[in-house]
Amino acid sequence: MTEPAELRLIALRNFPLVKPQDDLQSVITQSLADNQVTLENGDVLVLAQKIVSKAEGRQVKLADVTPSPQAVELAKSTEKDPRLVELVLQESNEVVKTRGPVLIVEHRLGFVMANAGIDQSNITHGGDNDSALLLPVDPDGSAARLRDGLQKEHGRKLAVIINDSVGRAWRMGTVGLAIGVAGIDPLWDRRGDQDLFGRTLEITEVGLADEIAAAASLLMGQGDEGTPVIIVRGVDYRSADRGISPVLRDKEFDLFR
């Protein structure tokens, strides 16, 4: 008989709606208590981008945005609100591709994504109160602050990942991806490891943080109430503080830019 290896993902239910200036650390700690969940050493907390952005006041009223001529132009071809396109351009290093309504940019943080991560569903619709939600200014920094605070408060060694649902080349459907990390090496470098036959693996660097982000996304999407915080327990990872940038492929080495 053998003991199966297990990985558990725990969604904090009845997580309150997050408002600007909310202290996410207190909200999470309160929700952990409400759910009777005690953090353990090695737990990875995955937070949905939207709650981090909301707490950090990254909501922008469209009425306050003045589109540039370039935004007006792009808005026509993509059939989008010019003010939204203006925000996308402000949040981006460059436009990577555009066709029909699709607008793929390199976000200022280096992520290649549609609309700089500003989804239509992120926009509140209410006349002059229409607003869009931008990605956090510094997701690695946000993750690091939360990790430090939660570690101290709960006396456990933790990692934090901020994830977002992002579209992909070649495949339909969004998947959870890591946009900020703290306390975890986002890549698992297996080069030099040996396979089952003692041969050295030649390739493999695993996108560990992205796999965790995708796994957490499975639970975030379920139910009507929304569960933006997931605790992932049982992943074997290396602690590190180099943020998410090692995951970003250098533009010059990317065949698909």
Stretch that binds its own copies, among 2-10, 61-69, 70-78, 84-92 (CB under 8 A): 2-10
Overall residue count recorded for the chain in this entry: 257
CA–CA dist 168, 20 (Å, integer): 30
**Nearest alpha carbon to residue 111 among 50, 182, 66, 178:** 178
Q: Return the residue of 21, 121, 128, 155 that touches its own copies, per CB under 8 A.
A: 121
SS3 166: strand
Stretch that binds its own copies, among 66-74, 85-93, 99-107, 131-139 (CB under 8 A): 99-107
131 binds its own copies (CB under 8 A): no
Structure tokens at 253: 């080495």
Residue number with CB closer to its own copies (69 or 170): 170
Asked whether 192 and 201 are in contact (CB, 8 A), the reply is yes
The footprint of its own copies on residues 207-226 (CB under 8 A) is 207-208, 210-212, 214-215, 217-219, 221-226
**What is the closest distance, in whole angstroms, from the C-beta atom of residue 230 to its own copies in the complex?**
9
SS3 225: coil
Q: Return the residue of 21, 66, 79, 197 that touches its own copies, per CB under 8 A.
A: 197
Residue number with CB closer to its own copies (148 or 167): 167
The footprint of its own copies on residues 27-56 (CB under 8 A) is 34-37
Asked whether 56 and 142 are in contact (CB, 8 A), the reply is yes
CA–CA dist 204, 148 (Å, integer): 31
DSSP-assigned beta bridge partners for residue 186: none
Q: Return the residue of 70, 102, 239, 241 that touches its own copies, per CB under 8 A.
A: 102
**What is the closest distance, in whole angstroms, from the C-beta atom of residue 90 to its own copies in the complex?**
21
